């Protein structure tokens, strides 16, 4: 094989690899979507848009865990509505199925992150109350129909999973109703979602791949030159 043929082979392989990444996406999908108006039939409260999840995400970015929910109406529309992210850190169970009424089959959690329209929040560790804390309001933000927050993942210690393997579900609920009838919606429905982990994406990722390819070309050229000498 000539040097030219070797370089051509490596470059074509690099381009094919980059194209594959582009086709399949280099980053895990960041958010889940949820239907509009899919109130649980067990929910007995007002069917207002701020109790209806449209999309949500939980993303692990380094040591930071980012939570976000987009509702069908402005956060704060309904007094006493609030938002609960159930987290499965390794020992999650279906905690709502034995309640009244039974809801949440497929939704597993061992702790909850609660975000409120007044900008306050709590973490409740359902397996070890010593870990339960009031969350810093400065880390919670509300903008129209979106409520989001970012916290150090160390606030939510593992019960078996690596943080990257945590799963979650989001449900709005009404503080003025007791029991599971207060839960208006699950997002996603009947299952947990994976924590998203951003990877080098788009141009940055392709640049990194291209740089890697160039390094390989240079190295091969040197090896071939040595073997020829």
Residues forming the site for Ca ion (CB under 5 A): 34, 38, 52-53, 185, 187, 189
Closest separation between CB of residue 107 and Ca ion, Å? 11
Name which of 37 and 202 has its Cβ closer to Ca ion.
37
Q: How many CA atoms lie within 13 A of 104 on its CB side?
A: 28
Closest separation between CB of residue 108 and Ca ion, Å? 16
Spatial distance between the Cα atoms of 209 and 43, rounded to a whole number of angstroms: 50
Closest separation between CB of residue 54 and Ca ion, Å? 6
Name which of 32 and 196 has its Cβ closer to Ca ion.
32
Closest separation between CB of residue 34 and Ca ion, Å? 4
Handedness of CA 90, 33, 186, 107 (dihedral sign): negative
Beta bridge partners of 71: 53
Report DSSP state, residue 183.
B
Per 3-state DSSP, the chain is made up of helix, strand and coil in percentages (nearest 5) of 30, 30, 40
What φ, ψ does residue 50 adopt, rounded to 5°?
-75, 0
Name which of 14 and 55 has its Cβ closer to Ca ion.
55
CB 166 within 8 A of CB 195: yes
Name which of 115 and 153 has its Cβ closer to Ca ion.
115
* Nearest residue to Ca ion on Cβ basis: 34
Closest separation between CB of residue 51 and Ca ion, Å? 9
Name which of 18 and 54 has its Cβ closer to Ca ion.
54
Name which of 51 and 135 has its Cβ closer to Ca ion.
51
> What string of DSSP letters covers 10-53?
HHHHHHHHHHHHHHH-SS----EE--TT---TT--S---GGGSE
Closest separation between CB of residue 131 and Ca ion, Å? 28
């Amino acid at each position: 094989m000539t040097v030219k043929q070797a370089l051509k082979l490596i470059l074509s392989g690099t381009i094919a690899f980059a194209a594959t990444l582009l086709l399949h996406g280099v980053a895990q999908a960041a958010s889940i979507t949820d239907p509009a108006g899919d109130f649980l039939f067990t929910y007995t409260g007002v069917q207002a848009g701020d109790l209806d999840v449209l999309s949500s995400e939980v993303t692990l970015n380094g040591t930071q865990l980012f939570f976000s929910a987009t509702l069908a109406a402005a956060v704060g529309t309904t007094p006493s509505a609030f938002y609960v992210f159930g987290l499965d850190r390794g020992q999650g169970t279906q905690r709502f199925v034995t309640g009244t009424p039974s809801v949440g089959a497929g939704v597993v959690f061992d702790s909850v992150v609660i975000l409120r329209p007044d900008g306050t929040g709590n973490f409740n560790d359902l397996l070890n109350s010593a870990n339960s804390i009031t969350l810093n309001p400065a880390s919670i933000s509300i903008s129209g129909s979106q409520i989001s927050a970012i916290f150090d993942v160390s606030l939510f210690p593992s019960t078996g999973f690596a943080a990257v393997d945590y799963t979650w579900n989001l449900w709005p609920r009404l503080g003025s109703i007791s029991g599971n009838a207060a839960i208006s919606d699950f997002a996603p429905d009947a299952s947990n979602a994976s924590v998203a982990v951003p990877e080098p994406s788009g141009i940055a990722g392709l640049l990194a791949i291209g740089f890697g390819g160039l390094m390989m070309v240079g190295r091969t050229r040197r090896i071939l030159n040595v073997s020829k000498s």
